[in-house]
Amino acid sequence: MALVETAQSRWFPACVCLAERRLHVHLMEEQPPIPLALDSFHEGGTGYDSREDALAACYGWYEAAELTQRWQKLAARTELYPERTAWYLDEIAHFVGDNTPRFNFGHCVQAVVYARGKNGLECLAATGETLDEAIRALYQCVYEWSRLLQDGVRS
């Protein structure tokens, strides 16, 4: 994020989204050798009266974005329905045997299990916002796979 001052002494936060990078705010206390921006810098916006107000807005936006990512990661690891999840895992084990599902946690959860088909191992995968959702989606994927295997569609 950066602050831009227009020729009319209006302050605007300038943001650039960098995926998976941590942004840090650095304060430059001295006047940089960069000319003031033209009035058309931020069409439709009114900007801020002072540098401090624009800087506070940058900190607020950064904090909101960071907290959102933290909450998404925390939600991905949260198990809300352990009994239901245990049932899904038992059913998955029933369909695929001893192959244990594996999980990758990030902003969402990816669930993967290997199942033995007629021509060897197959990888079945699903994604969910939480662990519960990923396991439920994986169960649905495994169930459909087993139905197709029983019907002879998969060879």
Considering the domain boundaries, does residue 142 fall inside one?
yes
What pTM, to 2 d.p., does this model score? 0.58
Count up the domains in the chain and report the number. 2
Tell me which residue range forms the domain holding 146: 82-150
Mean pLDDT of the chain: 79
Over 60: is that where the pLDDT of 42 sits?
no
**Same-domain status, 9 and 70:** yes
Considering the domain boundaries, does residue 155 fall inside one?
no
Q: Which two tokens stand for residue 47?
A: 């900007």
Residue 111: CATH number of its domain: 3.30.160.100
Percent of the chain exceeding pLDDT 70 equals 77
Show which of 59, 76, 93 is a domain's final residue.
Answer: 76
**Same-domain status, 110 and 47:** no
**Same-domain status, 54 and 20:** yes
**Same-domain status, 86 and 114:** yes
**Same-domain status, 51 and 31:** yes
Show which of 48, 76, 104 is a domain's final residue.
Answer: 76
pLDDT band at 63 (very low <50, low <70, confident <90, very high): confident
Show which of 44, 76, 108 is a domain's final residue.
Answer: 76
CA dihedral 65, 50, 36, 59 (to 10 degrees): -20
Q: What is the tens place of the pLDDT at every residue in 82-108? A: 899 999 999 999 999 888 999 998 878
**Same-domain status, 28 and 62:** yes
**Same-domain status, 58 and 114:** no
Contact status, residue 85 vs residue 135, Cβ threshold 8 Å: yes
What is the DSSP track for 102-155?
Answer: EEEESSSEEEEEEEEETTEEEEEEEEESSHHHHHHHHHHHHHHHHHHHHTT---
Considering the domain boundaries, does residue 104 fall inside one?
yes
Work out the average pLDDT over 62-70.
82
